[in-house]
Structure 1
Amino acid sequence: MAKMRKVLAVTMAAAMTMSMLAGCGDKKTDGTEEQTVQSTETESGDVSTETEETETSEAVTEEENSQVTDGDVLVDLNFDDNDTDGCATYFNGGQAELLNENGELCLDVTSTGKLDYANQIFYDGFALNQDCVYELSFDVHSTIERALQYRIQINGGDYHAYVMDEAMVGTDTQHVSTQFTMSEESDPAPRLCMNLGHFEGKGDDSTPHKIYFDNIKLTVVDASKAQQVESIPEPKIVNVNQLGYKKNAQKLATITNESAKTFDVVDVATGKSVKTGELGDWHYDSGADLRYTIVDFSDVNAEGTYKITVDTGEESYEFQVKDGIYDDIYKASVLMLYDQRCGTALDSAAAGDFAHEACHTGQAIVYGSDVAKDVTGGWHDAGDYGRYVVPGAKAVQDLLLTYEDSAEAAKDDTIGIPESGNGVPDILDEARYELDWMLKMQDENSGGVYHKVTGEVFPETVLAVDETAQMILSPISTAATGDFAAVMAKASVIYRDIDKDFADTCLAAAQKAWKYLEEHEEDPGFTNVGDIVTGSYSDGRMTDEYLWAAAELYIATGDESYNDYVKKTVKTSVKYGLGWADVGYYAIYDYCMNVKDCEAEKAILKEGADDLVKNYGKCGFGSATGGEYVWGSNMAVANDGMLLLMASKVFGDDSYVDYAADQLNYLLGRNPVSYCYVTGYGSQTPENPHHRPSEVLGKAMPGMLIGGANGNLQDPYAKAVLADMAPEKCYVDNAQSYSCNEVTIYWNSPLVYLLAAMK
């Protein structure tokens, strides 16, 4: 077991972070979520929740303070400064405004909604130690007689309460106080909540009113038995790809102990060194805040199991050298998409413990109307059960490119999905499941495409079959329509010799969507409407979506009007990327692979790939991100690997391949936190993803690429345990940390592409 670095629950003086999840994590970062209110786009194209911060939480180490003590005041809010003192609000059908009124915290309630937590005031930035006794107290009064619920809860998963009670309040100020013992494992990032929604039969809360709080305190009463908070495994000094390496592959390890002078590559079976050498040429990685040196052991190519040791006593995890090293993990990464299928029963032979009956089989209601529409099918986007066209299009494109660019994947009909053995490559069967759903998302009359189908809010921590909320079709967006047009045109080419009728349907849908795009070029980006707070996947600039659609339609039809659009657009400012928001490189790559007159497009692709090569030299662990680690950083790493492989194919330059391979090596363990970021694989693998089926079943669904390091600390748990760490080390394996530890279909899809290419 890895040695654990202890992070202790002590007073984090007024350390606040108001994280309202938008969930990889846009919503979370795109797929992430939880208590989502507003989201903003990050540089990677993912979306993080907009946060309000006062002071930054500090993780306190064992050396700084070994224990909490009696009398410690963990929360002390008196609002005398005419501020809200770091408190924030979450709404789920209610309406209210949080303000300071005459030195008290005031919630001005317009509507209490239907749920007891429809209006909620919350506060983060403290910790609870197991077996410690606390007192929670506050003063409260209201302009009407009504009920409230106060609670301190886990800030993730099922959000269960550590302590909870109700109180009736009225115009007279009353002092509420309760003592409790923290009986569960220590939690470095709980949440204090005041639920102020609707309480049936407990006062008349139907009229607008105000409720006031003052002197909110959480005090340590008895710390004599308090346990410490354990978190974050101590990383290895020697980091490698934990799965291993093909016999003839480049093999690099990163070492971060400058006291070490020599290394050995040890055959685990014999205990003998097969390669030894001296260390040197130490460099600095600013993203990880580490000094490092790199060991090249590419000449170790005999099949076997190895580890790398250094003379100071540290060693790497064991790894294998053999061909076919990625066969199993490749299948698992594709099966993850199968396990995310919606609207159909999952076969236990393929899904194992994650098999279930058909979910979300009812019709969805078009927002703002009483029109019902069948939009069953598709993939659950992430750790929640929403289905979104924009990220779904990226995921489909990655699979279609995997089919085109990897010969083995193009022939593989044995992955184990129900369609295996039908004569169609499984990668295309899986992509088609999402394409069939996307076709249902197109409006028959206008050709526009509905942005998403979700409930109004993110579901509780339940299995997919237990989310029974009414599904709502959010309005049509040009982002969804543009991405739809692009992948449908692409699909019409890919499936032409497999299922001509389906290919024709895809092309007709793409052309109809293009007509909608032509008529709506001035439309603004998508924003959530009404009471819907699920992931928005907002994108305010659609030039790249239009470019991608035009390029794929030109390749599919040969119609020069589309080509004219491409040639005109590449001369303008376009967002080039392979994410869900920035899709320009998809257009450029397919154009370069299919059109002879593409010198301008080749120059764009080469500039992007060469920039990644420059970034590669800044990182001691192989990443080409340039030191930027944001929400969904592992998607960025995987996308970078894709772009480098694309450049290799377009320019016939194999030097890009080794750089691409190191993006995969980073994801599979050669990183400064020593995690293989794919669940179920490697010596140290994420076990607690922010993923509802995994949380309910108590085990991680295998084959999922986790979001990874996020230096922006965009959830309370990350803020509590990762403060002051270097960005590349800001990862924690905890379901509460949605900004580090969620999963999405479009993080897995570039992983699928990379694994297929490296098999």
Structure 2
Amino acid sequence: MKKGILYFFVVICLVSFVIPLQTVITAPSSTSLFDREDFLDGKTAPWELYVEPHAMASAEVVDVPINTGQTKKAVCITVIHPGYNTWDIQFRYRGLPLVKGQTYTYEIQIGAEVQKPVKIHAQLGQPDLPYKTYKKTNIQFPSSITGGIITDQVTMNSDYPQGELAFHLSCKNMVPRVRKNYYDREEYKIYIFGVKLTNPKYKRPAVPKPISAIRLNRNGYTPNGKKIALLVSKSSNSQPWTLFLNRVGTVASGYTRYRGKDRYSGDYLHEIDFSNYKKRINGYDLKLKVAGLSSDSFEIKGDIYKRLTFDAMKFFYHQRSGIALEKKYLYSSYSSMYGKWVRPAGHVGDKAVPVAEEYAKAFLKNPSHYSPYGGKIVNKGWYDAGDHGKYVVNGGLALWIMQNQFERMKIRNSPLLSLFSDSHLKIPESGNGIPDILDEARWEMEMLLAMQVSNPRDPKYGMVHHKLHDNKWTEVPKTPADATQQSIDKEEYQRVVYPPTTAATLNLVATATQSARLWKSYDKAFANKCLRAAELAWQAALKYPNITTQKIQLRDILYPGMRPVLRPDLGGGFYEDDNMGDEFYWAACELYFTTSNNTIKQQCLNYITNTGYLGKISGLPHSSGHLGGPFDWRETEALGTIALATMAGSPYQSQARNSIIQYADKVLNILNTSDQIYPAPMTSWWWGSNSTVLNRAMIMAYAYDFTGNRDYLQAIARCVDYLMG
């Protein structure tokens, strides 16, 4: 074979053969195990690209020339550095039910663009220990972007309910070499046009019901509030609609109002306004009917969000680390199915070693801020996500919000306090005479306290470690117990704790100060512990006011000659923050009202009045012309402003409340002037933007609390309508 000829060569074992390129993989059948067999729509999920930290690759869907004037979409995996193991880069599909005695056939349409031979393989096997392989198909490519269909099959000799089909794309003979002053790197590209896995005895689950063309708040509506639904339809003619009550019949009717094309979603929409129907209907017995369609069922009642409030609080029990989830506590106001979430405890006595010194130095903006520190035992806390990590800055935000709502309800003597009373949430601590919301908050608070540097001889004494997680991304899906066992069974997995940062330290100041106030009448010893920790952390933050995370640049740590790598997550989210001013302001606003140390109180007052944050809310104003904020884990000044606005005896209460009302008015203006057909309190969307909707609703809730203006209340309802469908 001559160089430059377009071809490919497949080296396979057992039953394998090549079909010409023009043959295409057919559409999914009832015996197909995959929900996605090609990438013609430009999407790849639920396929995923997995890359070990010491490898580097990217994936995107591209149009690939296959014949003269013809192209076909494929997912292109560009391998920049293959790592050192064949499994370091994988393109994989998980969750495959493999049954003993049944035969599975896979078809792969694949091509490549390489400068020299590249060996990869596809395998059907286990994604978890002991990583058993049931079938492996070796593939070798020369220079070509053409492709063909490879088939292979295997009969299972055992059951495995969560198998995977994975392409192992790391070719070890392509590892870059460093030659004197230049870097010898040869990238290669793998093109996967389609993959099919079938079993003649497999029966696909029922196709999920498609999203209804009638869009409404699936939770329900309040009797006297606005009740708006949308119909997705390109017809410009008004459509008759009816409101149907089960066992009764039609209770309201009208005609839709055609609104045209929404420039954000691209949908053509009709508005259905049934606000005049004000009768309370308990139970999900109401449906809208229009254009031959029926909506999801919903209800109308005054306490429409009472159950949702319960379940939102119950969520945190599910996120607990270091404790088994027991069936008797897995209760939902909506469903009896919560018992399926029973699981054993994970990360009991969660012990983490210090992250490697070179990473720690790169993690900090100034390497001199790094000092040797011992490991940590960090029990309890809430898992942030499927990586089973514990993060101070975002965990601190969630904790602050939980404690803040309880404290505000206490100040107002709100009847809603009963929603968080002892035994209401049905958690393990229920029945101890303490409000369940405080018991749940304490589970996280004790984790944050454990993250504090406790050795007085350590120069960072009093500071708080930024985060704790595995040194490599957890293979999902894994239960916490399985993830714990993985770190025991596999040497390359271990729990690591990252160096202290000023942001994490000030998060502890704010949340521990809250806890000190809230626990004073329930557990004075714990309240005093929290206050001591907060004051110690404050003093440590003053000593080290700018120990920040940054985007790590590692040149020669991971592998020789590699180009600088920006922000390798290395097992967990990064959560970098280069501005500490807002955290100092937030912490000072909380500590000022609680400390009896006059020196600290004066320091707090100085930070409140002299740092430019007094009464500020993130994004007010916003330089881009769009309304930013109001807060997140990185921008926390609004939290301090809320504290000033709500605490008794606050010297700046009026100024803080005016800032909150001013921000709420800007959100109202977005809602009232938006060119969206159904306005949300947003003009752009990003990852996590739904949390911004809720945070803006929270600011409007405080504005309503301070003024009694029902415009804010109606705006909050519209925010929740948006989130609920």
Q: Same fold (TM over 0.5)?
A: yes
Report the equivalent of 2:536.
512
2:368 matches 1:330: no
Match of 1:549 among 587, 593, 600: 587
What amino acid maps onto 2:450 in structure 1? K
Number of matched residues? 580
What amino acid maps onto 1:418 in structure 2? P
Q: Distance in 2 between matches of 1:547 and 1:75?
A: 52
CA positional deviation for 1:608:
2.0
Q: Distance in 2 between matches of 1:481 and 1:303?
A: 49
Secondary structure of 1:606's partner?
A: helix
Q: Distance in 2 between matches of 1:612 and 1:240?
A: 22
Instruction: Please list, as runs of the form range in 1=range in 2, the aligned pairs for 1:581-596 lying within 5 A after superposition.
Output: 581-594=634-647, 595-596=650-651
Secondary structure of 1:394's partner?
A: helix
* Residues 173-216 of structure 1 deviation map (CA, whole Å, 9 limit, x = unaligned): 9x9998226999xxxx998541347xxxxx99999898967685
Q: Distance in 2 between matches of 1:588 and 1:656?
A: 19
Q: Distance in 1 between matches of 2:198 and 2:589?
A: 68
2:341 matches 1:354: yes
Match of 2:353 among 360, 365, 368: 365
* Residues 301-330 of structure 1 deviation map (CA, whole Å, 9 limit, x = unaligned): 232444454552233211122344434333
Instruction: Please list, as runs of the form range in 1=range in 2, the aligned pairs for 1:544-583 lying within 5 A after superposition.
Output: 544-557=582-595, 559-571=601-613, 575=618, 576-583=629-636
Match of 1:395 among 389, 395, 398: 398
Sort the Cα spacing of 1:231 and 1:141 in 2 relative to 1 into closer, same or farther, 3 A: farther
1:577–1:586: 8 Å Cα contact kept in structure 2?
no
CA positional deviation for 1:453:
0.7
Secondary structure of 1:483's partner?
A: helix
Secondary structure of 1:245's partner?
A: coil
Secondary structure of 1:548's partner?
A: helix
Mean CA deviation greater in 570-579 or 311-320: 570-579
CA positional deviation for 1:261:
3.3
Instruction: Please list, as runs of the form range in 1=range in 2, the aligned pairs for 1:106-505 lying within 5 A after superposition.
Output: 112=84, 116-117=86-87, 119-120=88-89, 133-136=107-110, 149-151=120-122, 164-166=136-138, 179-180=150-151, 193-196=168-171, 216=190, 218=192, 234-257=210-233, 258-271=236-249, 273-280=250-257, 282=259, 285-290=262-267, 291-304=269-282, 305-309=284-288, 311-351=290-330, 352-361=339-348, 362-367=350-355, 368=357, 371-406=374-409, 407-411=414-418, 412-413=421-422, 414-444=424-454, 445=456, 446-461=461-476, 462-468=478-484, 469=487, 470-505=494-529
Q: Distance in 2 between matches of 1:534 and 1:88?
A: 23
Q: Distance in 2 between matches of 1:280 and 1:215?
A: 51
Report the TM-score, using the length of structure 2 for normalisation.
0.68
Q: Distance in 1 between matches of 2:533 and 2:47?
A: 37
What amino acid maps onto 2:534 in structure 1? A
1:36–1:534: 8 Å Cα contact kept in structure 2?
no
CA positional deviation for 1:249:
4.3
1:451–1:474: 8 Å Cα contact kept in structure 2?
yes
- Provide the aligned C-alpha RMSD in A: 4.9
2:618 matches 1:608: no
Mean CA deviation greater in 553-562 or 480-489: 553-562
What amino acid maps onto 1:562 in structure 2? C
CA positional deviation for 1:658:
1.7
Match of 1:629 among 677, 685, 703: 685
Q: Which runs of 5+ in 2 are unaligned?
A: 1-33, 94-103, 156-163, 331-338, 358-371, 488-493, 559-569, 619-628
1:265–1:307: 8 Å Cα contact kept in structure 2?
yes
Q: Distance in 2 between matches of 1:364 and 1:353?
A: 30
Q: Which has the larger radius of gyration?
A: 2
1:410–1:427: 8 Å Cα contact kept in structure 2?
no
Q: Distance in 1 between matches of 2:481 and 2:124?
A: 25
Secondary structure of 1:334's partner?
A: helix
2:137–2:152: 8 Å Cα contact kept in structure 1?
no
1:449–1:484: 8 Å Cα contact kept in structure 2?
yes
What amino acid maps onto 1:546 in structure 2? F
Q: Which runs of 5+ in 1 are unaligned?
A: 1-5, 22-32, 39-49, 59-67, 78-85, 90-96, 99-106, 125-129, 198-202, 670-759
Q: Which has the higher contact order (CA 8 A, sep 6+)?
A: 1
Q: Distance in 2 between matches of 1:389 and 1:471?
A: 16
Q: Distance in 2 between matches of 1:164 and 1:370?
A: 45
CA positional deviation for 1:277:
2.6
CA positional deviation for 1:266:
1.8
* Residues 642-700 of structure 1 deviation map (CA, whole Å, 9 limit, x = unaligned): 1211221233323211211222222223xxxxxxxxxxxxxxxxxxxxxxxxxxxxxxx
Report the equivalent of 1:524.
548
Mean CA deviation greater in 494-503 or 206-215: 206-215
Secondary structure of 1:557's partner?
A: coil
Q: Distance in 1 between matches of 2:58 and 2:188?
A: 21
* Residues 703-732 of structure 1 deviation map (CA, whole Å, 9 limit, x = unaligned): xxxxxxxxxxxxxxxxxxxxxxxxxxxxxx
Secondary structure of 2:594's partner?
A: helix
Sort the Cα spacing of 1:427 and 1:12 in 2 relative to 1 into closer, same or farther, 3 A: same
Q: Distance in 2 between matches of 1:7 and 1:264?
A: 36
Sort the Cα spacing of 1:223 and 1:561 in 2 relative to 1 into closer, same or farther, 3 A: closer
1:403–1:410: 8 Å Cα contact kept in structure 2?
yes
1:648–1:656: 8 Å Cα contact kept in structure 2?
yes
* Residues 61-118 of structure 1 deviation map (CA, whole Å, 9 limit, x = unaligned): xxxxxxx99x9985789xxxxxxxx5445xxxxxxx54xxxxxxxx5x6xx2xx543x
1:260–1:310: 8 Å Cα contact kept in structure 2?
no
What amino acid maps onto 2:483 in structure 1? E
Mean CA deviation greater in 541-550 or 283-292: 283-292
